[in-house]
Structures are given as structure tokens and as C-alpha cells.
Amino acid sequence: MKFDYANPYTSTRIPVFARNVVSTSHPLAAQAGLRILQQGGNAVDAAVATAAVMTLVEPVSNGLGSDSFCILWDGERLHGLNASGCSPETWTPEYFRRKYGNNAATPPQRGMDSVTVPGAVGSWVMLSEHFGKLPFEDLMAPAIEIAERGYLVPPVVQQKWAAATPILQSHPGFAQTFLPWGRAPQVGDLFKFPAAARALKAIAATKGDAFYSGEIAEAIERFSNANGGSLKVRDLSNWRPEWVEPISQTYRGHTLHEIPPNGQGIAALIALGILEHFDMASIPVDSVAAQHLQIEAMKLAFADTYRYVSDPSSMELSPLQMLDGAYLASRAKLINVKKAQDFKAGNPVKGGTIYLTAADERGMMVSFIQSNYMGFGSGCVEPEFGISLQNRGHGFTLDEKHPNVVEPRKRPFHTIIPAFLTKDGKPVMSFGVMGGNMQPQGHMQTLVRMLDHGQNPQAACDAPRWRFNSGLEINAEGSMDPAMVQGLGELGHQVEVINDSYQDFGAGQFIWRAGDPAVEGYVAASDARRDGQAAGY
């Protein structure tokens, strides 16, 4: 595919062309990945090393207590890995009602009763064992060095750190770990993380066993017991990452692949399956009409996703039913091109996150995402090893009639989704867009720009975004043309302009295969909404 390399949007970045490339939201992490590639590692090795560094340099979004997912092209076929953790064996609706009252609708947003088993470390080990070339200990070395020596806090991360501090500073372990200055950091403050260095050394030496059944697991249980939680060593040791077959949807001769439920990637597939019934290429890319159609398709997708998606063992419908072609065609007919609508779920039976991507000259491509969910996650940090724990348990419901109801040893509904694009069974692009429910919306918006309008990955990344919330409510990025905002409002969208791009509009990383990786290499982009970098050689 030939891209237009003229970028019509204000940008601080240009596409990166290289045979080996890593793209992520912090330069030190991207450079750690390149270091591993230059040592003879492959794209999986680079992705694992990069992910480990990201737990340190962007703690506002992820940590050693994160979950993760991955889609990778091994040179011959796609593989999916679901490393989202399960709930403790004590969790039931009654457990939460007893502790938080009969009016509680979900597990709490923060605290130890929002923490499920962290899966990220398990994913690193699994990926390394199955596809890596270098010893696992080598992959942890860049992160250990950064944890011990420290790094200077960059601008975007500093903003989010400062914003979270008033909310989380009283949570156990948070101030001790993340406020060593006695306050939130300023830009350029040196942050060292010796506790995480201890954890990473133990993880490296035991290939993760210390985290799930050894000294780190025991420290997590002690910390949980001391702070009102129920997470035990047996919850950690009984959990394993799961290899899964990606689900897919064709669009404009290409195929988008996503991790199947319990994640929300199916929402991007549904939206594109609906847009396939409209001639998007004939509508100007930054017109009100083009954005209106995408918003309405996304609303329809979320209506079904929020109704039906949960842990696969509890779903009433299969992904194939939700992606049935005739059903998506019927949903497309519900869109009124002149009016915004509030859609409900249909009946298919009739028919704060980090993302990184790496690719090498041998053709391996990795799409990887890990997250603590809401910024620093639960706000709870086990202090001996610096384990900043996610709050994915808040994604459950206590409604016993809903498929996503909390149960023992169950995965909650998940927002983080890596993505991968192929054509005719061959790899085209590994990519992702971070940020809660912005993720499938970002997948759809950027793909429409690239596949329908030929915008290059960096331009598609830089373009102003909108974000659907609920009902008729959408957010528009502050850089969006006021005429666009007005036009959407005239169609009935309730538009609020937001200037916080990090929080509300996500950030993407893209690696597009330009041809033979050993000859033409790749085109990479990194989102200017964060501190990141696409780096290659």
C-alpha cells in the first residue's frame, strides 16, 4: 500500500524507517528493546525487555503488578496470549456485599479488593520460553539497571503522577514507593526504584517463579492480609497465561485481528464490520459525515460488547455469533446519516495502559500491551519488591444476571487490547492505541484513515480524535476543528471538548511492514500524546 507522507496535522514526530524497530511511549524503553536486538535477540526478546522497562519509566500506567495481552507473528502464523489474571478464590457477590453494602454494584475502584492476579510477569516468561532467543535473565538486565540507577521523570508522566498523588497518597505503600521526595515529582527529578530492582533480579533468576510461588508471592500475600485483601499465594501459583486464537474481521481487503473475550477487542471488529457497508473512501476523511458514521458504528459495537462480553466460560454468545455478517449488516442499517442515536444491544442469536510494538528484520512482529488499569491501578504497592498492583477487579459486576458477574478464579471484562493487521494471510501491521474504552475506538479511527484514505501511520496517529462515552455523549480532542465540533453537535451529538489528550484520547504505536523486512523494513510511528519514541536501525 502506498501512503501519503504529507502530514496535514500538527506533529512533533516523523515516521521512522528501519529494518529493526521498537515503538513505545518512553524513549528509554524503546532503546532497551533496540539494545536487546543488537545483542542478537529477536522481536519477542525486545518486546519483553521493553515491557519490563516500561513498568519503571511509566509507573502512572503500568507496573510489576499489571496484566497483559499479546498478538505476535512468528514468521509463519499469528499467536495470541491472554495474560489477564483471575479473581481470588474467595470473591463472590456476597463477599463484596458483606464488606461494602447491598447497594454496591461493582468491586471497589481502589484498594486490595480491586486486585486480581497480576499477569504481566507471567506473559514475559511465557513469550521468552516459546519464542525468545536470548536467556531470560538478559532481557531483565536493562530494567534492573534503570531501577538501580534511576531516570529523570519526563513531562507527560510527571503530569499524571502529580494528578494521581492527591487521590492515592494515603493508599498502602504508595507514598513510600512513589513519593520519595515527600511530594509528587517535578519534571527532571531523579526516580530510583530499588525495590523493583530486587523484584526484577528475583524474577530473572527464577524465570518468574519467585513472583508466582516464591518470595514475591509470599510478600504479596502478607501485604494483602495486612490491608484487607484476600489475594493468596495459591491464587498466584494456580494461575497461568493462556494461548488463544485471535478473532478477526475483514475490512477493505485487510483483516484486523484482536484477542478474543474477556477483552473488548471485539468492539473494534464489530465497528469495522458495520463500516464495511459504507463507502468511507468517498467521504472526505476529516468531514463531519465521516466522523459521524464512525461514532455511530462504535456506539453499536459497544452496546453489544458491554452486554455480552465476559470471561469466555460465562458468555451467552460466541464471538462468531457477535461478528456474524448478516447481523452486522442489519446493525449498519440502524445508522441514520443525519442524526445521532442512543443504541441498545442487539440480538446476535438471530444470525492508565502502555502499548509497545517491536519488529525485526527476520519478519517477527510483536503487538504487546500491559496495564494497571486506572493509572496507578489499585493504589496499593507492596513495598519490599515495589509491586504496584492493578485494579482489574473493578471491571466485574455484582449483578448475578450478567455474564460478567464476579466469581472465584474468573477473569473480569478487560479493556486492554493489542491489535494486528494482515492481508491475504501475510503480516501488515502490529499496532495498538492505549486508554480504556478509547482503545477499540482508536483502532477503528486510525485504520479508516490508513486503509480508506491512505494516510501514513504517523499522520493517522497525529489526527484529532473523538471518544464515545455513553448515550449521545462524546469527547472531542482540543485540536479538533471547531467546525467539526459544531457539525457533530448539529447532528445531535453531545460534544465536550477536552484538552487532556493523554487521559481521554489514548496514545498509539504503529509498525507497518513496508516489504521484505530484510530489505525494505518497516515504517513506524509513535504517538506525540505521550513521551514516547519509535526507534530503529
Per residue in 89-112, pLDDT tens? 999 999 999 999 999 999 999 999
Q: Output the pLDDT for position 75.
A: 93
Amino acid present at 241: P
Average pLDDT over residues 20-38: 97
Are the C-beta atoms of 406 and 91 separated by less than 8 Å? yes
Q: How confident is the model at residue 503 (pLDDT cuts 50, 70, 90)?
A: low
Q: How far apart are CA 461 and CA 132, in angstroms?
A: 30
Catalytic residue among 353, 415, 422, 446: 353
The DSSP bridge partners found for residue 477 are 498
Are the C-beta atoms of 131 and 473 separated by less than 8 Å? no
Q: How confident is the model at residue 369 (pLDDT cuts 50, 70, 90)?
A: very high
Does the pLDDT of residue 12 top 90, yes or no?
Answer: no
The DSSP bridge partners found for residue 242 are 82
Percentage of the chain exceeding pLDDT 70: 99
The C-alpha cell that represents 330 in the structure block: 442489519
Q: Output the pLDDT for position 347.
A: 72
Reported as a single tens digit per residue, the pLDDT across 319-364 is 999 999 999 999 999 999 999 999 998 877 543 789 999 999 999 9
Across the chain, which distance is largest between two alpha carbons, in Å?
63
Does the active-site annotation cover 353?
yes
Q: How far apart are CA 468 and CA 342, in angstroms?
A: 11
The C-alpha cell that represents 502 in the structure block: 493523554
Which positions ≥6 away from 245 have C-beta within 8 Å? 80, 260
Are the C-beta atoms of 94 and 159 separated by less than 8 Å? no
Average pLDDT over residues 184-201: 98
Reported as a single tens digit per residue, the pLDDT across 408-459 is 999 999 989 999 999 999 999 999 998 888 999 999 999 999 999 999 999 9
Q: Output the pLDDT for position 336.
A: 97
Mean pLDDT of the chain: 95
Helix spans in 337-448 (H): 438-447
Q: Output the pLDDT for position 353.
A: 82
Q: Output the pLDDT for position 499.
A: 84
Q: Output the pLDDT for position 375.
A: 86
Identify the structural domains of the chain with CATH numbers, from first to last: 28-68+80-242+376-395 (no CATH), 244-353+416-536 (3.60.20.40)
Q: Output the pLDDT for position 237.
A: 98
Are the C-beta atoms of 464 and 528 separated by less than 8 Å? no
Q: What angle do CA 370, 323, 78 make, to 5 degrees?
A: 45
Q: What angle do CA 440, 443, 445 make, to 5 degrees?
A: 110
